[in-house]
Amino acid sequence: MNVDLTNCDREPIHIIGRIQSFGVLLALSPDWIIAFASQNISNCCESDASSLIGCPVRDVITDAAIHALRTRLQLLSTPESVERVFALDLFGNGQLMDVAVHFSSKYIVLEAESASTDAAHHYVNYVRPMTDRIKQGGSTQQMCEIAARQLRALTGFDRVMVYRFSDDGSGEVIAESRAQNIDGFMGLHFPASDIPAQARRLYTQNLLRIISDIDAPTYEIVPTTDAYGDPLDLTMSTLRAISPIHVEYLRNMGVRASMSVSIMRDGNLWGLFACHHYKPLSLSYPVRTATELFGELFAYMLDQSENSRSRDMNQLAAQLHTTLMSRLAEGGDLANDFEVFGNEIRKVIPHDGIVGWINGEFMSRGDVPAQSDFMGLVRLLNTTGTGSIWCTDHIAAFYPAGELFAEKCAGLLALPVSRSPRDYIVLFRSEITRSVRWAGNPEKSVTLGPNGDRLTPRKSFEEWKQVVKGHSTPWTDDQKQCAEHLRVTLLEVVLRLTESASREREEAGKRQEILIAELNHRVRNILNLIRSLINQSQPGDPVVSDYADLLGSRIEALARAHDQLTKNDWAPTRLRDLIAVESRSWLNDSDDRLVITGVGAIIQPRALTTMALVFHELITNSCKYGALSVPSGKVSLTFEREEDDALSIQWVESGGPTVKPPSRRGFGSTIIERSIPYELKGEAEIEYDPDGVVATLKLPADSVARFVEHDDHVPATAPVTEEKQPPATFTPPASALVVEDNVLISIETEELLLSCGVKTVHLAASVKEALAILDRAEVDFALLDVNLGTETSAPVAVRLNEMNIPFIVASGYGDSKAEDDAYAGAEVLTKPYNNISLRSALAAIPKPD
């Protein structure tokens, strides 16, 4: 077996199958049956782990604890969310536990540790003054230095570092606070292999990682896998055991305990608070909760600071736009005024040389490659995308011949200003020879160690200097953002200049293509604005209001295709969901004329917009002119997985009007036939068969994130859910009373009821408030939480029975009925509930005679 640094990247640390010793773990099925347990669970109850598997959790933990945990589950908003319950008598033995609860795939994971004697809010109250001090920092560096000091004071670690990641996964310690006689790591770089790729991915999901003692025992989770052969995913676990490689890494550093707190920016891992201690150190759950809150607030403040700086840069870019446009308005010419253009750009984006490659004409100023060398770079740039800038601080890494001119041109930033032929404005930076201080030799040879065919972490962390040549000063994020704004400006500059060129007719077509590409981006943003304006501006006239509703729903269906990207944080998306979004603009949920068969496919974010445009055109054309324009018409949509993991898609229409080939190629046909090959390097073909249009599409493997099981032969408009569906139509009650003592749940329930068609919703947090509402208001039905803090809602149930008003019991005890006879016969809605389960419960309410 070949062993290299990528072996660490492949280590499955999220399914390690063990936990640390400072807590216990239970994983439950959706119906609260114990599926996994840690071996040390016997320390908290009278049963061992193996004997608990398959038993109801009620056999181990108290009903009151189950109710508390179900209530917290209701508050989980994302798969990466974790809720906490402090000082809970979990096992009914009087031992108070701090409990974390989260979802892992289909399992509910409970992690418990002995409760701290300190109240949770005691430490959380420290966070505000800590953040107030950070506000005093005027720069990112100063903010990081203050944050490191504050976090060390809160946690007591010997060393707290702010560690910032580079684009290649390596990192640098940019701020540090340490105790006396502790070696400093300030300014040192660490190679990407020190924090492997899969560990960096986990840091984006689980924002706090604690290791209390690397030498403490760990405990196995039993069974190793579930009935389907899958191990328990511990991505969000706070107790997850440590990788043997990471244990050895820390031991080589002399560290016994550590903690990492993620610093996120724009959904990406910007850096970490890395904390080291040279003795075992256990932090209570309240302290860790305060630390995690501090980390998130610091990330927010850092983002605000960086955004403020970006706004300043954007203002400079806007001023540059005005300056360049004014010079053109005064009769300026790019060729004659190129040096002036370059000087204006240098004020915003520092550079040592600039080249303009427009319509085959080479223009240059400053330190740039010779034209013959530049033509080789043009061929490289032609392989990059046309819709964004491309930059590097090491040309030779992508273009080996660049070593010949690296001394004066080591880095470049290219701004494409047309599509065909490729035109560019390219900025160059000269070589900057610099020393990089590493924590040990990043290229030091490695040897096999006690962990088998895996790398042994290096044992030396002494400073090692590396002289880096052939690199320029890196292009900062702000400079790249300004360059993107400048690219749009230069698009306009080049378009204006080419209007007077001899090939005006040919260039007009190219200009239109560029403007359409930019317009498509802006239209997607404008659709959201139009949708809001329509919804907020409906007049009282029913006819006009109906028209506004119809128009608004169609615009919303189009805008949702783009919303899927932003709302899912640019995560891969199920292709069937995308098609459902598009088809619902024309077809209702019960329409089965557009049917999907075959495998399920999850597509990459970069393919989503392209596929949204393609399916929008296919569905729109079919509903207007094709098979879906008549009641008897049908469309069969088949997905197949090919041997190379590409996705084959076939659209077949039948039963519609006779199809005739179009007399000319329309814009919609162009999108269908050209967007997939051009944007995704796939294939697309349309056949105009008289019996119905047939479209054959192929997405390459790199556009498909993964394949999943798919319910064969389902309508495209069918909701994607495994839950029992409520009736298609039902008459909701006009007014409702919600009795719930948790304000977040009550507000959410109010919104759900209103979305189900309930006109008036009254909220009550206590029995007194509920009875007062029943005395003064008309109520058609009620939804009752059984436990309301120190009382139950039984008196309200008695009053509702006396008034013959139906009600639903929202229970944290599962499907079991409450013991009080007042609840007898009531429908039970198990927490956590959602729109679908609530609608089903409403539909089951007996209607008055």
Can you give the three-state secondary structure of 470-504, one letter per residue? CCCCCCCHHHHHHHHHHHHHHHHHHHHHHCCCCCH
Residues 218/62, Cβ–Cβ less than 8 Å? no
* Confidence grade of residue 239 (pLDDT, cut at 50, 70, 90): very high
Among the residue ranges 6-15, 182-191, 525-534, 584-593, the one predicted with the least confidence is 525-534
pLDDT at residue 723, as a whole number? 39
CB of 26 closer than 8 Å to CB of 43: no
Calculate Rg over the CA atoms of the chain: 31
Three state DSSP letters for 327-343: HHHCCCCCCCCHHHHHH
Q: Is the pTM of this model over 0.85?
A: no
**Residue with more model confidence, 590 or 300:** 300
When comparing pLDDT for 522 and 669, which is higher? 669
Phi-psi region of 41 (alpha: psi -120 to 50; beta: other; left: phi over 0): alpha
Q: For position 422, what pLDDT does the model report?
A: 76
Q: Helices 542-567 and 605-624: crossing angle, nearest 10°?
A: 150
**Average pLDDT taken over every residue of the chain:** 80
Nearest to 782 by CA among 767, 759, 765, 800: 800
- Which residues, in sequence order, are CB contacts of 649 under 8 Å at separation 6+? 637, 638, 639, 640, 695, 696, 697, 698, 699
pLDDT band at 821 (very low <50, low <70, confident <90, very high): confident
Q: Which two tokens stand for residue 199?
A: 């560990």
Phi-psi region of 488 (alpha: psi -120 to 50; beta: other; left: phi over 0): alpha
Q: Which two tokens stand for residue 418?
A: 């047309």
**Strand (E) or helix (H) holding 196:** none
Torsional sign, CA 512, 514, 520, 522:
negative
CB 389 within 8 A of CB 414: yes
- Tell me: the pLDDT tens digits for 64-111? 999 999 999 988 878 788 999 999 999 999 999 999 999 999 999 999
Q: Residue 655 has what DSSP assignment?
A: S
Q: Which segment of 43-47, 453-457, 704-708 scores lowest on mean pLDDT?
A: 453-457
Which of 816, 842, 813, 660 has the alpha carbon at shortest distance from 755? 842
Region of 461 (left: φ > 0; alpha: ψ -120 to 50; beta: rest) is alpha
Q: Is 359 helix (H, G, I), strand (E, B) or coil?
A: coil
- Give me 342's structure tokens: 């370059």
Q: Which amino acid is at 298?
A: F
C-alpha span between 407 and 652 (Å, rounded):
59
CA distance 42 to 48: 5
Q: Give the whole-number percent of the chain exceeding pLDDT 90.
A: 35
Residue 720 clears pLDDT 80, i.e. is over it: no
Q: At what angle do helices 794-802 and 767-776 cross, to 10 degrees?
A: 20
Structural contact between residues 182 and 307, judged by C-beta atoms closer than 8 angstroms: no
For 270-302, the pLDDT digits (tens) are 999 999 999 999 998 888 989 999 999 999 998
Average pLDDT over residues 721-727: 45
Residue 470, pLDDT score: 80
Q: Are strands 594-598 and 714-715 parallel, antiparallel or unpaired?
A: antiparallel
Q: Which amino acid is at 4?
A: D
Separation CA 308–CA 306 (nearest Å): 5
Task: Identify whether the C-beta of residue 710 lies closer than 8 Å to the C-beta of residue 577.
Answer: no
740's enclosing H/E stretch is: none
Angle (CA) 188 190 195, round 5°: 145
Residue 848: per-residue pLDDT: 59
pLDDT band at residue 800, thresholds of 50, 70 and 90?
Answer: very high
pLDDT at 725 > cutoff 60 = no
Q: Note the pLDDT tens digit of each residue in 497-519.
A: 555 444 444 554 555 554 433 44
Compute how many other C-beta atoms are within 10 angstroms of the C-beta atom of residue 666.
12
Name which of 184-193, 334-343, 373-382, 603-612 the model is least confident about.
Answer: 334-343
757 backbone φψ class: left, alpha, beta (φ>0; ψ -120 to 50)? left
d(CA 85, CA 93): 17
How many CB atoms within 10 Å of residue 591?
Answer: 16
